[in-house]
Amino acid sequence: MSERVLYVTGGNAGIGLATALKFAESGCHVSIFSRREEANASARAAIEAHGVKCVTFAGDVASATDVAAAIDKTCSQLGRLDYAFNNAGVEQVPTPLTEQTEEDYRRIMDVNVKGVWLCMQHEIPRMLESGGGTIVNTGSVASLIGMANIPVYIASKHAVLGLTRAVALEYATQNIRINAVCPGAVKTALYDRFIGDSAEMEQAIEAMHPMGRSGDPEEIASAVYWLCHEATWTTGQAITLDGGFTVQ
């Protein structure tokens, strides 16, 4: 992976940062696109400690202008684009359907679906310039099953998987591979926001996974790395990483 370039959305914490660091350890330069400039700076320092280049951009993945500028600058500053991890996402607070709002719907669908769609639109032409590339989108076990009280989130993650499969078919003959990772509960800031201060909620979530625990960001990062670097005959797939959650 030496001298290749990874672009990550939501890359300054959690699964995104764990993935950026894993690629950096292999000599890959990294571009991070996330909202918070201060967190971007901290992530850049951690990545550059591995002796690679890192550029960061603060913006909104639901903004075509922001996405286009970040990817253009990634290529101009780092020289190319080989891998993309479209990871940025937001959760939904469990609420009865009749109490959910249009604002909830727009926020979740804009980030989780429109953000992935926009990123792929701008990533793929740049990858084609270098002869091909690999994209991984962050889905969820929510891409595969239903859950009560979070229907918009469920719909958004089903849509991520649909986008992954459809676009993978469109570019399968052009050396662009596109897959999704579908994690169960992973210990990130999103996880912390979801459970709040409730030890009972955390215990209940962990008990839902047959392995008896939630996942770590590094475990998802390993799957992203495998899909990008080693799974050379894999496209349009959903790799489920959930401690057995969806097997029950």
Q: Which residues are catalytic?
A: 153
Walk across the sheet containing 29-34 and list its strands.
Answer: 54-58, 29-34, 5-9, 83-86, 133-138, 176-183, 238-241
Residues 141 and 184: beta-carbon distance below 8 Å: yes
Q: How far apart are CA 46 and CA 114, in angstroms?
A: 29
Beta bridge partners of 8: 32, 85
Residues 6 or more apart whose CB falls under 8 angstroms from that of 50 comprise 21, 24, 25
Q: In whole angstroms, what separates CA 24 from the centre of its chain?
A: 17
| H helix intervals, the chain | 14-25, 37-48, 64-78, 102-109, 115-129, 151-170, 189-195, 199-207, 217-229
Provide φ and ψ at 148, rounded to 5°. Answer: -70, 150
